Chains A and B, each alone.
Chain A
């Protein structure tokens, strides 16, 4: 029962570098999400997907791109990392939309941009 798996768990980048965070879920969920969590703030939605081949912008999409080529995978890319993107990133999935049912979260990816 893997649930939602994120890789890598930790990463340090220099300003301007690029990277991709991978999220995989084995629950056959249609909906997948990427959030960031910063101290003193609530979770903020970056991008989400309502099904394979679809993506949509969330609350804070600038500086990030996503792809959902396969139903079970949702990738988050940073093309040119900035210190403001230092955060803990959580992937989540759900059977129905985030507003109607339980979200299943991955364990988080801690990213530091120097």
Chain B
């Protein structure tokens, strides 16, 4: 089956930059999503990558390398409200979403 790997937890400082990595199996890849989920709340869409490269959207950017089976979410100018879990999800060969377990990001003052 497909495996999505992302770190369980990360800690960063307010105002800094953090990179959250996600790796997946490369066979049958059809796209990659990032969602944000605050504790006790619903996931919300952040980004979608299907081609290699960096896509920037305000303070958040998402990068994809299809040959390496690798993506990252880059958060700049961290704010306390960015404390949340970040979910990576791959579109597999059957065009279904395979979700990672999420990375809990803790922002410290």
Q: Please classify how large the interface on chain B is, using the bins under 10, 10 to 19, 20 to 34, 35 or more.
A: 20 to 34
Total A residues in contact with B, Cβ cutoff 8 Å: 21
- B42 in contact with A45 (CB, 8 Å): no
- A42 in contact with B89 (CB, 8 Å): yes
B38-62: which residues lie under 8 A (CB-CB) from chain A? Answer: 40-45, 48
- B42 in contact with A105 (CB, 8 Å): yes
Does B67 lie at the interface of the complex (its beta carbon under 8 Å from any beta carbon of A)? Answer: no
CB-CB nearest in chain A for B42: A105
- A42 in contact with B42 (CB, 8 Å): no
Does B7 lie at the interface of the complex (its beta carbon under 8 Å from any beta carbon of A)? Answer: no
- B101 in contact with A99 (CB, 8 Å): no
Known: A42-B99, A99-B91. A90 touches B45 (CB 8 A): no
- A90 in contact with B31 (CB, 8 Å): no
Q: Which residues of A contact B98 (CB under 8 A)?
A: 42
- A98 in contact with B41 (CB, 8 Å): no
- A42 in contact with B45 (CB, 8 Å): no
B62-109: which residues lie under 8 A (CB-CB) from chain A? Answer: 87, 89, 91, 95-102
Q: Which residues of B contact A100 (CB under 8 A)?
A: 31
- A99 in contact with B97 (CB, 8 Å): yes
- B87 in contact with A107 (CB, 8 Å): no
Give the docked Cα–Cα distance between A100 and B48 (Å). Answer: 9
Please list the residues of chain B having a beta carbon within 8 angstroms of any beta carbon in chain A: 4, 30-31, 35, 40-45, 48, 87, 89, 91, 95-102
Please list the residues of chain A having a beta carbon within 8 angstroms of any beta carbon in chain B: 4, 40-45, 59, 90, 97-108
